[in-house]
A = this chain, B = another copy of it.
Amino acid sequence: MERRYLDDFAVGQTFASGRLKVEAAAIKAFAAEFDPQPFHLDEEAARGSFFGSLAASGWHTAALTMRLLVEGDLKPAGGVIGASLELSWKQPVRPGDELRIESEILEVRASQSRPRQGTIKVRTTTFNQKGETVQILTSNVIVPRRGG
């Protein structure tokens, strides 16, 4: 599939992705390296916590969302290169959950100072296998212009 330049994006376009399953071992491995808190590391410790049972680090959910974005249908020319973003976690990701994303183009802006590129604002919603929203990410992605 061809990659998309700034000129190919328009407000309202939507893009889908494949799916990624999250197992308990991966949740614990990510947490051990980046978010070593009891409720991400150990089922027993999670029981008495805010989360009630083992939950993925929100940053793990975000990283998996990035993988879905990179391999999904958005395909900006030059790659998925974010500059800034807003993110909120709506509910925890649990062992066995299967994630997918839907992205919608909110804005398309040519750069005033750099005529060869621009920015798209993309809202990416991450869903679990029950169709529940687990994360909403709104990011500004740098995209080259066609022939730029």
* A residues whose Cβ falls under 8 Å from a Cβ of B: 30, 33-39, 49-50, 57-59, 62-64, 66-67, 70-71, 78-89, 142
A27–chain B nearest beta-carbon distance, Å: 13
**A84 contacts which chain B residues (CB < 8 A)?**
86-89
Q: Chain A: interface secondary structure? A: mixed
Chain B residue nearest in CB terms to A63? B34
Cβ-defined contact, A58 with B34, below 8 A? no
Complex Cα distance, B82 from A79, in Å, reads 28
Cβ-defined contact, B50 with A35, below 8 A? no
Cβ-defined contact, A79 with B34, below 8 A? no
Q: Contacts A87-B84, A87-B87, A89-B83 given: A36-B70 contact, CB under 8 Å?
A: yes
Complex Cα distance, B86 from A84, in Å, reads 8
**A38 contacts which chain B residues (CB < 8 A)?**
79
A84–chain B nearest beta-carbon distance, Å: 4
Cβ-defined contact, B49 with A35, below 8 A? no
Q: Contacts A79-B39, A89-B84 given: A57-B66 contact, CB under 8 Å?
A: yes
**A36 contacts which chain B residues (CB < 8 A)?**
67, 70-71
